[in-house]
Every structure is written in structure tokens, then in C-alpha cells.
């Protein structure tokens, strides 16, 4: 599950929520060994809490969980 954007697993593909029944959202569990590759020159964040019960490797840049 590579996160190159807050996208297919999050339900939002762009920088705008234009539907009143939608919101920014992301996964809340990492339960299998996962490597997330992100671009070093982009800003990435996830909203927590996020439960990690396996190895989660972040490569390429910084991922901030707020």
C-alpha cells in the first residue's frame, strides 16, 4: 500500500471535498507488513489514532500523523 497521495485507500483523490456527505478520511490500522513510499518534496499527513500491529516502513520522506 504505497501512499503517493491521500487517495484510493482514503476515499479522497484531490485537495477539495465538494460533497456535503464526504470528508477527508484515512485508514486507521496497519495490520500487515507494509512499506509506504512518499515523495521527499511533498507534505504528507494522516489523522490518527492509527493502530500499527505489523512492521510499517516509511521511505522517501516524512509522514506526519496528527
pLDDT 10s digits, 54-64: 999 999 999 89
State how many domains the chain has. 1
pTM of the model: 0.63
**Segments forming the whole domain that contains residue 19:** 1-66
Q: Which three cell numbers, joined as nine digits, stand for 58?
A: 516509511
The string of DSSP letters for 21-60 reads T-------EE-S-EEEE--TTS-EEE-S--EE-S-EEEES
> What span, in angstroms and rounded, lies between the C-alpha atoms of 13 and 10?
8
pLDDT given for residue 13 in this prediction: 55
pLDDT given for residue 17 in this prediction: 75
pLDDT 10s digits, 24-52: 888 899 999 999 999 999 888 888 899 99
Q: Which three cell numbers, joined as nine digits, stand for 33?
A: 507488513
Amino acid at each position: 500500500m504505497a501512499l503517493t497521495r491521500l487517495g484510493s485507500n482514503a476515499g479522497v483523490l484531490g485537495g477539495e471535498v465538494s460533497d456535503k456527505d464526504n470528508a477527508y478520511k484515512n485508514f486507521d490500522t496497519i495490520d500487515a507488513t507494509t512499506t509506504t513510499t512518499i515523495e521527499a518534496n511533498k507534505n504528507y499527513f494522516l489523522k490518527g489514532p492509527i493502530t500499527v500491529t505489523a512492521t510499517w516502513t516509511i521511505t522517501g520522506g516524512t509522514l506526519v500523523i496528527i
